[in-house]
């Protein structure tokens, strides 16, 4: 390995992965964490685009690596993250063993000094359209991000805390936890591949975990297990939720268990942290409902990140908690372009367009109302697809729903709900439409509902609305 080489990893949250984070970047090479949940063809594209010199992999991924190797001729070696006794019988020409490589060295190594702008890490965004694009992080951006992530209103992790990142180390550096925990001397607990409710609960209890972080889906599994067995947490105090919107009911459920649920927002292009939903002192004296209104939002910009919302013409909108527009950000760990210049110049007057649509309230709390490309444009006005979806899934008979804009001759687009009923549950189109009355403005009420067996998702579990829009491109609204 040479300075500047990209070194791929296909690995869970484990100690060898952590060693690679520091060993690879510390020698001046680039830790390129790859999301193994992507489709194999996408992964092959990513490895080739990044020109990974070596790829390190956990044994779980042997079948995946066997499929990738013939498609990635530039990789000089595939390193099994294990010892000699456990090296797999894999169909791989260039197979190496992690512990053999380490064992051959005496541990006496002079860490080089290099420019703080040298690259340290690389992550590709999955993207719902087109090829994945890479975000390159520098030592400087990574360290500044880790300082900011440690602040009291962010992760607030000291040497007295025990932190367990459920968010994978292959997913934007486990939101910075792999850096901020050692930086602050916190005890770091790594869960490996066991992310089901039972495994996580037992690990929380045996290791005395006080802080954790992950996407809503994993918490659903954990909370279901805890409810089913009538359990409580003896050490856990804070759970950070992000990656997609935190369901309001999750905040309540965690609170009942004595755990503060903190809503966070960010993206790969932001290293990834942008905002954290910690309450301010003045909110603590407020009634629980008013506190709750703040907690469900995605939170305040963390120090270093600036945010603003703009309308279609780029004019800044008021921070009144009502006006919503395209969310733009800038800051020391926000990207200015993609790896190898893919996508060209992406900044708007120095600001990075997040692709999210949001409100910002007078206290600075940002709330995502939509993705820019998902917002429904009816007669020049915007309707939040997320709000329409939240109402649909609040109906007891609905398991999952997507709101998309369907073509309308007069209004351009009108909302269409594509919904999946819960097993054995009944609800008609008319009943679901009536359910919207009084919950949104009249002109926000969808024009139609279509029931389907299942909705399409991306490899990372987000709704694949591009596919839905294609499928329903010719849908004839009853109001058209
Ligand atoms: P990640 O890898 O963390 O999912 P991506 O870059 O793939 O990040 O996706 C970032 C996008 O995920 C954001 O632009 C936003 O649309 C969505 N997202 C992240 N956190 C939240 C959140 N707390 N609420 C709603 N959407 C979120």
Q: Give 140-196 pLDDT, tens digit per residue.
A: 999 999 999 999 999 999 999 999 999 999 999 999 999 999 999 999 999 999 999
Centre of ligand 1 from the C-alpha of residue 267, in Å: 5
The strand pair at 376-378 and 381-383 is best described as: antiparallel
Residue 269 annotated to the active site:
yes
Q: Using CA atoms, how far apart are residues 419 and 16, in angstroms rounded to an integer?
A: 43
Among 12, 175, 333, 382, which one carries the catalytic annotation? 382
pLDDT, averaged per 10 consecutive residues of the chain (480 residues), comes to 96 98 98 92 96 98 96 98 94 94 94 96 80 95 98 97 97 96 98 96 98 91 94 98 88 96 97 97 95 97 98 94 96 96 93 96 96 88 89 92 93 95 94 95 95 87 87 92
Centre of ligand 1 from the C-alpha of residue 1, in Å: 33
**Phi/psi of residue 34, nearest 5 degrees:** -115, 135
Among 60, 82, 125, 458, which one carries the catalytic annotation? 125
Centre of ligand 1 from the C-alpha of residue 376, in Å: 19
User: Best mutation site among 214, 267, 357 for ligand 1, i.e. most ligand atoms within 8 A of its Cβ?
Assistant: 267
- Residue 272, preceding peptide bond in cis (omega within 30° of 0): yes
Centre of ligand 1 from the C-alpha of residue 272, in Å: 9
Amino acid 129: pLDDT: 61
Among 67, 187, 198, 377, which one carries the catalytic annotation? 377
Residues having CB closer than 6 A to ligand 1 are 125-126, 171-172, 242-246, 263, 265-268, 272, 298, 354-356, 368, 371
**Phi/psi of residue 440, nearest 5 degrees:** -140, 170
Atom number in ligand 1 closest to CA 368: 25
For residue 332, the 8-state DSSP code is: T
For residue 117, the 8-state DSSP code is: T
Contact 336, 313 (CB under 8 A): no
Centre of ligand 1 from the C-alpha of residue 107, in Å: 40
Q: Using CA atoms, how far apart are residues 340 and 49, in angstroms rounded to an integer?
A: 9
Amino acid 480: pLDDT: 85
Query: Could you tell me which residues are beta bridge partners of residue 371?
Result: 356
Q: Using CA atoms, how far apart are residues 10 and 46, in angstroms rounded to an integer?
A: 12
pTM of the predicted model as reported, rounded to 2 decimal places: 0.89
Atom number in ligand 1 closest to CA 371: 16
Centre of ligand 1 from the C-alpha of residue 245, in Å: 8
Q: Using CA atoms, how far apart are residues 190 and 423, in angstroms rounded to an integer?
A: 36
Closest residue (by CA) to atom 11 of ligand 1? 267
Contact 59, 86 (CB under 8 A): yes
Centre of ligand 1 from the C-alpha of residue 319, in Å: 21
User: From start to end of 432-480, where are the E strands?
Assistant: 448-451
Among 269, 333, 389, 413, which one carries the catalytic annotation? 269
Q: What share of the chain is helix, strand, coil (3-state, %, to 5)?
A: 30, 25, 40
Residue 382 annotated to the active site:
yes
User: Best mutation site among 38, 219, 242, 305 for ligand 1, i.e. most ligand atoms within 8 A of its Cβ?
Assistant: 242
Contact 83, 103 (CB under 8 A): no
465 burial level (CB within 10 Å; 0-12, 13-18, 19+):
buried
Strand, coil or helix: what is 460? coil
- Of the candidates 304, 375, 337, the one whose C-alpha atom is nearest the C-alpha of residue 143 is 304
Amino acid 463: pLDDT: 84
Q: Using CA atoms, how far apart are residues 173 and 180, in angstroms rounded to an integer?
A: 10
Atom number in ligand 1 closest to CA 123: 2
Q: Which residues contact 398 (CB under 8 A, 6 or more apart)?
A: 392, 419, 420, 421, 422, 425, 427, 432
Angle, CA of 210, 213 and 215, to the nearest 5°: 145
Q: Using CA atoms, how far apart are residues 469 and 403, in angstroms rounded to an integer?
A: 10
- 209 CB-side CA count, 13 A: 23
Closest residue (by CA) to atom 21 of ligand 1? 244
DSSP notation for 238-290: EEEE-SSPPPHHHHHHHHHTT-EEEEEEE-GGGSSEEEE-PPPHHHHTS-HHH
Closest residue (by CA) to atom 8 of ligand 1? 267
Atom number in ligand 1 closest to CA 241: 23
Residue 342 annotated to the active site:
no
Centre of ligand 1 from the C-alpha of residue 99, in Å: 36
Structural element, H or E, at residue 110: none
- Of the candidates 13, 23, 349, 401, the one whose C-alpha atom is nearest the C-alpha of residue 173 is 13
Atom number in ligand 1 closest to CA 269: 6
CA 10, 178, 30, 144 torsion-angle sign: positive
Closest residue (by CA) to atom 26 of ligand 1? 244
Atom number in ligand 1 closest to CA 126: 7
Atom number in ligand 1 closest to CA 270: 6
Q: Using CA atoms, how far apart are residues 50 and 53, in angstroms rounded to an integer?
A: 9
Q: Which two tokens stand for residue 288?
A: 């629980």
Closest residue (by CA) to atom 25 of ligand 1? 245
Residue 12 annotated to the active site:
no
**Phi/psi of residue 138, nearest 5 degrees:** -105, 165
Angle, CA of 264, 376 and 386, to the nearest 5°: 30
Q: Using CA atoms, how far apart are residues 444 and 453, in angstroms rounded to an integer?
A: 25
């Amino acid at each position: 390995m040479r300075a500047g080489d990209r070194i791929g990893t296909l690995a869970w949250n484990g100690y060898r992965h952590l060693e690679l984070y520091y060993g690879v970047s510390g020698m001046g090479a680039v830790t390129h964490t790859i999301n193994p949940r992507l489709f194999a063809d996408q992964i092959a594209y990513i490895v080739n685009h990044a020109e990974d010199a070596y790829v390190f992999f956990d044994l779980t991924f042997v079948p995946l690596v066997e499929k990738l190797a013939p498609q990635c001729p530039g990789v000089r070696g595939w390193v099994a993250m294990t010892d000699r006794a456990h090296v797999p019988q894999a169909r791989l020409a260039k197979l190496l063993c992690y512990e053999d490589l380490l064992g051959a060295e005496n541990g006496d190594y002079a860490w080089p000094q290099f420019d703080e702008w040298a690259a340290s890490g690389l992550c590709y965004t999955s993207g719902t359209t087109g090829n994945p694009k890479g975000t390159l992080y520098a030592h400087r951006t990574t360290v500044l991000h880790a300082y900011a992530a440690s602040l009291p209103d962010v992760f607030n992790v000291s040497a007295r805390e025990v932190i367990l990142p459920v968010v994978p180390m292959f997913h934007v550096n486990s939101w910075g936890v792999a850096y901020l925990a050692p930086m602050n001397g916190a005890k770091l607990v790594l869960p490996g591949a066991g992310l089901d409710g039972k495994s996580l609960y037992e690990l929380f209890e045996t290791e005395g975990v006080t802080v954790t972080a992950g996407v809503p889906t994993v918490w659903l599994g954990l909370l279901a297990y805890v409810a089913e067995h009538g359990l409580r947490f003896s050490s856990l105090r804070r759970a950070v939720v992000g990656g997609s919107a935190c369901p309001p009911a999750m905040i309540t459920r965690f609170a009942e268990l004595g755990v503060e649920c903190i809503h966070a927002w960010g993206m790969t292009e932001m290293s990834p942290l942008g905002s954290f939903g910690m309450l301010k002192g003045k909110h603590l004296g407020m009634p629980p409902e008013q506190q709750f209104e703040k907690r469900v939002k995605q939170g305040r910009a963390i120090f270093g990140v600036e945010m603003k919302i703009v309308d279609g013409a780029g004019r800044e909108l008021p921070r009144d908690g009502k006006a919503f527009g395209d969310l733009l950000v800038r800051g020391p760990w926000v990207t200015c372009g993609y790896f190898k210049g893919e996508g060209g110049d992406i900044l708007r007057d120095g600001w990075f367009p997040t692709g999210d649509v949001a409100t910002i309230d007078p206290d600075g709390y940002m709330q995502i109302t939509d993705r820019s490309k998902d917002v429904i444009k009816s007669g020049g006005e915007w309707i939040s697809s997320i709000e329409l979806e939240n109402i649909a899934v609040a109906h007891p008979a609905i398991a999952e729903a997507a709101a998309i804009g369907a073509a309308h001759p007069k209004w351009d687009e009108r909302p269409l709900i594509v919904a999946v009923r819960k097993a054995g549950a009944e609800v008609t189109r008319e009943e679901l439409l009536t359910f919207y009355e009084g919950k949104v403005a009249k002109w926000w009420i969808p024009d139609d509902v279509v029931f389907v067996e299942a909705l399409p998702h991306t490899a990372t579990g987000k709704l694949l609305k591009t596919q839905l829009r294609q499928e329903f491109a010719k849908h004839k609204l009853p109001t058209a």
